[in-house]
Amino acid sequence: MAVSILLIFVIALGGFAVTYIFADDEPLMWRLASGNVIGSAVFGTLAFIASMAAGFNVPVLIFCLLASLLTLLAFRNTANARVFKHDWAKAKGKLRGANMRKFSRFAYYAFFFLLFVFFFRRGMIETSQGIFTGASQNLGDLPFHLGAIFGFTDGNNFPPQNPSFSGARFSYPFVADLLTASFTRLGAGVADAMFVQHVSWAFSLLVILERFVVKLTGDRLAGRIGPALLFFSGGLGFIAFFTDFGAQARSITDFLWHIPTDYTIGEHFRWGNSLVVLFITQRSLLLGMPLTILVLGGLWKVFTAEAVPGIENGELRIENKDGHQFSILHSPFSIFLTGLLAGLLPLIHLHSLAVLFVVGVFLFILQPHKWKLWLIFAAGVALMAIPELLWSIAGSASETSKFIGWHYGWNKGENDSFLWFWFVNTGIFIPLLALGLYLVWTASRNGQHAATREDISHAHKSGRHRNKITKTITLDRPHLLLFYIPFAFLFVVSNVAKFAPWEWDNIKILIYWFIGSLPFAAYALAWLWQRTSPWKAAAIICFVALTLSGSIDVWRTVSGQINYKVFDRDAVLLAEKIKQSAPPNAVFLNAPTYNTAVVLTGRRSMMRYIGHLSSHGIDFAERESDLKRIYLGGPDAAAMMEKYGIDYVLISPEERNTLSANEAFFSKYPVAAESGQYRVYQIR
C-alpha cells in the first residue's frame, strides 16, 4: 500500500506543476486533484511509449517517473512560484480559526473520501480461498482488467495484443491498466495499486466536478450538490426497495444488512448507480472523466469570454459583455496545452474524446468568431490523438460497422414508453433539470447575472498580473444555456442511435449528458434551499428522492454484503505455476469464459469471454466454432491448434462441463502444470 501511495504522490506532483502553466485562478485543492489526473494520464502515456521502445521494466518506468517530474521546472518561473506561494498561504489560512462553515467543508470531503475507501476496497479481495469481488457488477470486468494488467507485467505484451483474442491489436483504452501494471512492476501489489488509484481518481473527480459546477452556476451550494447527485445517482428503485421490505418479516435494520438485489440496475432499471455500474467496473472512465471535465472547464472559460484584439505582454486578454477584462489563460500555448491533455484520451477513454469532439464542434458553430482559439485547441488535440488513434486502429479486430446503428430509446426495451423509462430510471432528475434551465432562462430575460468570489482571479493578488485590470468574472446566463446545447444533443442522439455493439454501452456517452445537466439540477436544488422553509423542505425531499436508490446500492457494496468468487484457490495456484513454466508470449486454449485461470498468468488466449468480445465489436464466431472442435479432439484438432498457434491447452471443470473436453485426446501431450482439477497440457 505504501508503494502505491508514494507513486501516486510522485505522479500527481508532476501534474500539479502543469496546472500552473494553463490555469491562473484555481484553488490549491483543484490543482492537487487535477494534478493527480494529469500526472496519471501523462505518466501512463509515457510508460506506453517508452515500453514500446525499450521494454516494460523498472529502469524504463523510473525514467518515465523522472520525465513526468520535469514539469516542476515551471516553478523556476518567478510568477509561477509567486502564485504557488499565494495558493499555499491561502490554503493554510483556511485551516485557521475553526467555525461551522470550515467544519462542514471538511466533513464534506472527509465523508466522500471515507466512502471511496470503503467502496473501492470491495473491488478486488484476495483471500486464501481465491480472489473475490464485493461489487455486484464487477464479476466480469475485474478479470478483464486483471488480464490486461498481468499481460503487461507477466506476458511481455508489447506492442499490446488483445489478451482475449490473440493476434489482434489491443484497441481497448488500456492506460488505466498499464498504470496499475507499472505500480506492480515497481513493487506494489495489484489489489493495492488498483485500490489507491481508484480512491485517488474518484476523489479528484469529486473536486474537479464541484469546481466545474461552481464555475457554471456561480453557486457554491450547487457545487457541493452536483457530485452527490453523480455518486449517488439512481432512479425510482427505492420504491421497489420498500416494496420488498414490506413483503418480508425482517426489521428495517436487518433488511438493510441483507439487501437481496440492486435497485438501480436490473430488469426494470438500466441507468444504474455511477459508482456501482461505472466507476468500479470501467476504470478507464474513472480516469477519463475527471480529465474530460477539466478540459470542459477550460472550454467554458474560452466560451464565456470575448477576446480583445492583440496580445498584451504575452498574455491573451479577455473581456466579458460588461466590458470587464481579465486573464483567461497565460497565452494561446495554454489553450494548446489543454488540447494536448484532451488528446491523451484515445488510450484512456475513447468515448470521452468523442464527447469533447461533439462539444468542440458545437462551440465552434456557436462562436465562429473565436475560430483561432478553437483551431489552437483542435491542433493540440490532433497532435496527440491522431497518432494514438492510427496506432489503435491498425491491426484491430474490432469492426467499426458494429459500433454505429439506429436504435431507439437506448435500453428501454420494447414495452416501456420512452418518457416512463427515463422517469423510472432517473426519477425527478429531468424535471429538476428543466427547472434549472427555466431559472437560468428567466434570469437571462431579466438581465440578472450571478457572480461569486470563487470567480475572482487571485492572480492579481499574487502579483502575477500586477498593474493589469483583473475583475470579477460575471457569468451571463445566455452563455450557460448555449453551453448546454451539445449535452442535450448527446442525450438525443444516444436515444436514437447506438455507438457500441452493445446498446447499453451508450451510457458511456449518456453519462456526459448527465454531467452537463448536473449544474442545472444542482442549481435548482440550491435555489429551492435558499427560499423559505416550505421550499427548503421540498429541496430536501427532492435531494433524497434523487439519491436514495443509489445510496442503497452503494451501501450494499460498502457493507460487504456481496462476495462473488471470481477465481478459486486452485486457479490462483495454477496461474503461479504457469508463470514459472510457460514463456510470456505463449498462447493458450481455454473455455471462452470471463474467469479462466489463464487471465492470472498474463498469457494470451485464442479467445475468452464472448460478452467482452462482442461488446468490443469483434467477430468471434469462427474462432468459437474451431475452439469447440479442438476440445472435442477430432481428426483436425491438431491442425487447428497449429493454425491458431496454440502452445498450451487448459482443461478445468469449465472445459469439461461446457465443452465436453476430450481429455483422452490431450493426454498424449505432456502436463505442464496442474492444481486440483486444473490441468495444462503443453502442445508445442
CA angle 458, 459, 460 (to 5 degrees): 90
Nearest to 330 by CA among 77, 32, 71: 77
pLDDT surpassing 90 at residue 478: no
Peptide bond into 584 cis (omega under 30): no
Q: What is the pLDDT of residue 306?
A: 64
**What is the spatial distance between Cα 493 and Cα 487, in angstroms, rounded to a whole number?**
10
Q: Half-sphere exposure of 162 toward its Cβ, with a 13 Å CA cutoff?
A: 26
Do the bridges between strand 587-589 and strand 604-605 make them parallel or antiparallel, or are there none, so unpaired? parallel
Judge contact between 476 and 443, C-beta under 8 A: no
Tens digits of per-residue pLDDT, 244-281? Answer: 999 999 999 999 999 999 999 998 899 999 999 999 99
179-191 residues labelled b (16+ CB within 10 A) or e (exposed): bbbbbbbbebebb
Residues contacting 429, CB < 8 A, separation 6+: 229, 233, 514, 517, 521, 546
pLDDT surpassing 60 at residue 448: no
**Average pLDDT of the segment spanning 450-474:** 39
Of 35-39, 291-295, 499-503, 568-572, the range with the lowest mean pLDDT is 499-503
Judge contact between 174 and 184, C-beta under 8 A: no
| pLDDT tier, 90 (very low <50, low <70, confident <90, very high otherwise) | confident
Long-range contacts from 200-203, C-beta under 8 angstroms, 24+ separation? 200/8, 200/12, 200/36, 201/36, 201/37, 201/40, 201/286, 201/287, 201/290, 202/116, 202/120, 202/231, 202/275, 202/279, 202/286, 203/33, 203/109, 203/112, 203/113, 203/116
| pLDDT tier, 317 (very low <50, low <70, confident <90, very high otherwise) | very low
| pLDDT tier, 163 (very low <50, low <70, confident <90, very high otherwise) | very high
**What is the spatial distance between Cα 484 and Cα 589, in angstroms, rounded to a whole number?**
50
pLDDT surpassing 50 at residue 324: no
Q: What is the pLDDT of residue 246?
A: 96
pLDDT surpassing 80 at residue 318: no
| pLDDT tier, 444 (very low <50, low <70, confident <90, very high otherwise) | low
In total, the chain counts a number of residues equal to 684
**What is the spatial distance between Cα 415 and Cα 94, in angstroms, rounded to a whole number?**
55
Q: What is the pLDDT of residue 460?
A: 41
Q: What is the pLDDT of residue 447?
A: 55
The pTM (predicted TM-score) of the whole model is: 0.93
Beta strands in 471-523 (DSSP E): 475-476, 497-498
Tens digits of per-residue pLDDT, 361-408? Answer: 999 999 999 999 999 999 999 999 999 999 999 888 888 888 889 999
Of 95-104, 478-487, 609-618, the range with the lowest mean pLDDT is 95-104
Q: What is the pLDDT of residue 179?
A: 98
Give 589's strand partners. Answer: 649
Concatenated DSSP letters for 618-667?
A: B--HHHHHHHHHHHHT-TTHHHHHHHTT--EEEE-HHHHHHH---HHHHT
**What is the spatial distance between Cα 222 and Cα 214, in angstroms, rounded to a whole number?**
7
| pLDDT tier, 468 (very low <50, low <70, confident <90, very high otherwise) | very low
Q: What percent of the chain has pLDDT over 90?
A: 80
Average pLDDT, the chain: 91
> Which letter does DSSP use for residue 323 in this model?
-
**What is the spatial distance between Cα 331 and Cα 307, in angstroms, rounded to a whole number?**
12
**Average pLDDT of the segment spanning 229-249:** 97
| pLDDT tier, 142 (very low <50, low <70, confident <90, very high otherwise) | very high
247-257 residues labelled b (16+ CB within 10 A) or e (exposed): eeeeeeeebbe
**Average pLDDT of the segment spanning 419-440:** 96
| pLDDT tier, 445 (very low <50, low <70, confident <90, very high otherwise) | low
**What is the spatial distance between Cα 271 and Cα 230, in angstroms, rounded to a whole number?**
12
